[in-house]
Structure 1
Amino acid sequence: MSSAIFVYWVVLALCLVQAAAFFALYHFDRVNRPAVSFGLAFAAAGFSFGGEIVLATGFAPSATRMVIAVAMVAMFIFVADGLARRYRVGLSRGGGLAIGAASALLYLMILDLPRADFTRQMLYQLPYGLLSLLALSIIWRARDKVRADWLVMLLFALMAVHFPAKPFVALWTGGVGAEPSGFAATSYAALSAVSGAVLIVTLAMVALGMMLSDSAARIIRNSERDAQTGVLTRAGFAHHAARHLAGAAPNLADPAAGDLALILLAMDLSGRPHALPVVALAECLGAGAPRDALVGRMAEHDFAVLVPGANLFAARALADSFRAAAAEDPALGAVTLSIGITEREPGDVYAEMLARALWALSQAQRSGGDTIRLAARSGFGLAAGTK
């Protein structure tokens, strides 16, 4: 067994394992449609590498060479489809079929030309290079690219250079062999197999990493959402609120200005049925809160809103708008709300803000409900205690 054939067997096995991994991922996360495209892509790649093994036996060389070439084109088309789905970039499915048909026609025209012909070798690699650029362009057109996206673009740029360079490598290493069955025994075949294997396996691992990351992020988002109302759960709200506090520095130059306010709202239960319209209230809060605010469900009838860029008085105005909207919404049945508000202080952590807001909420409920109470700054309490 030549070194090239050994590499082909290894890559074939890896491609099939990767394809199975993508299909298994889709089985557990049906929203992850790009995983299907990538699974088909690496199944096609495995088919192409399997064809290289068959070609070395001398079986039906013309048909086998066609299968090898078209299967690799199919891999790139499926990869482009998966990227377009993942990055939400428009890509015509008819365009993919047209590329596949044009590539198949090209291979029908050139595969019977002399194997040593440099033009034939360059035309053979041309679709792969162009499809690598197509994949790169899809990511380029995506919005909000992160560092990992640029690294994937670099990988496709390397592939776009790799394929057109192969005819030059063939010239340098002594050619591609006089007959198709003798290709695997050439030095070029070994170099081509190793370099192609590295790129294909790297692409497979990167794509699988992206799909796993997307599914994990989706699972985390779903686990942080209340199933009934769609807002953040108590744990999800605490997690994101803590990140807000850690990511934004307090306004030390003007402590009275405030930069983050926490509003706790409780539906007043006195004289009302136990099954209160919590879904309608969640929708009311979501519609009335600023776009950058966090809305969470803290208990069965209790909600919280974290408002960036607001002090006590801005939060009080927002809370008044919540009360007015709740009173006017027919779906809420003129429900009344008890509300407690606090604002961030220098050095605050989320637990400290929550404790002050809970105190203010308890004061609102003790006063009979349907009212708002503000939590005094901790400094005022300390000053009062020293008199």
Structure 2
Amino acid sequence: MSTENTAYLRKPDELLVDLYASAAQPGRWTQSMDRLCGITGAQSAVVQAFRFEQGRAQVFWLAQDSRTRVTTSVQSPELASGDNPRMDLRRALRGLDRVAGDDELFDPEDEARPRLQQRLATLGLGRFLGTLQDVGRGVYLGLALHRSVDDATNFGDEHIRRLADIAPHLGQAFLLTDQLQVSVQRDERLCRLMDSLCFGIVLCTGDGRVQWANQQASAMLERDAALSLRGDHLYGRSAAETQTLLAALSVACQAGQQRVGYLRLGEADQVLHVAIRPGDDPSSLMLVISRAAQPLDLPALALESLFGLTPTEARLLGAIATGSTVEEYAQMRGVSVGTARVQLKQIQAKTGQRRQADLVRLVLSSAAAHLVAPGHRRAG
């Protein structure tokens, strides 16, 4: 093999490696700023994302080197906010898309400059060099480097060129961080919402490896349950039930999204009902799990809101929907059967359902039957 056209890989730029790794590992932002201090001889390195509102910067994200995190941000937090005169709209935009120092940002007679420098000096910070870029959607990203107050040397041309080279990567790394953070927060919100459902949800592969489960499912998948989680895999109570489960998962994977499979596991009051729904990925499945013997928990307030009932009527409807007769409800509440029947007629008039079977169907198909409302007043 000829080596005439061989090219050797260059050693990676460690600062760029840190920056792009910061999206998934936020702690690497501090490491990046520490490395930038080492490269430029700066005492402090801070990067901030902000929007301008009425001419003032509103900071919503920042990263600092390790020294600044434990000193400047504690002793003088206003320097990391819109109170910093460099972040005034008029001054800040003078540094847009360039590497700039205070000479470029402040007018010669601007009294805010000496006041700022005096405040910075008390924190041990001296000469400044920074960048500002528009990263879209009204968001600006600023980088500020400061030398030690005892260091009288200016940042050199090599430092200016380094900042000019690194700025686009800094902007891209921030956008990746922001996008990933938004995605993580969205996933966390979805998980919390899934935990409010009355039934269990499990995401798994075709061989029963669990990728995620909501709280209801985790509570059901106990070691002695009809379906349990051991390690990261699902098992039936017996080897035979495990094989039945795996066979159902395999069939669902092959059937595609148009088919939902159903499975019953366990005996007596331990029975679990499982619905199996293939996902977009052929090897990904969603299991919806419910306990056959689990009592239905209907929030009275939900029935009041959905069907325009009074609290008393909601309690009666909740009792009927969960299996009680009018007579049993009357005895439980200490009222006459006649009074309970009058309330039932009022419920039927309001819902338009004349038969009790239709009332039960109406309630069980409503939103009241599917969400867990913490601290709710139970119907029935």
Fold-level match, TM-score > 0.5?
Answer: no
TM-score norm. by structure 2 comes to: 0.24
Higher relative contact order (CA 8 A, sep 6+): 1
Q: Which has the higher helix share?
A: 1
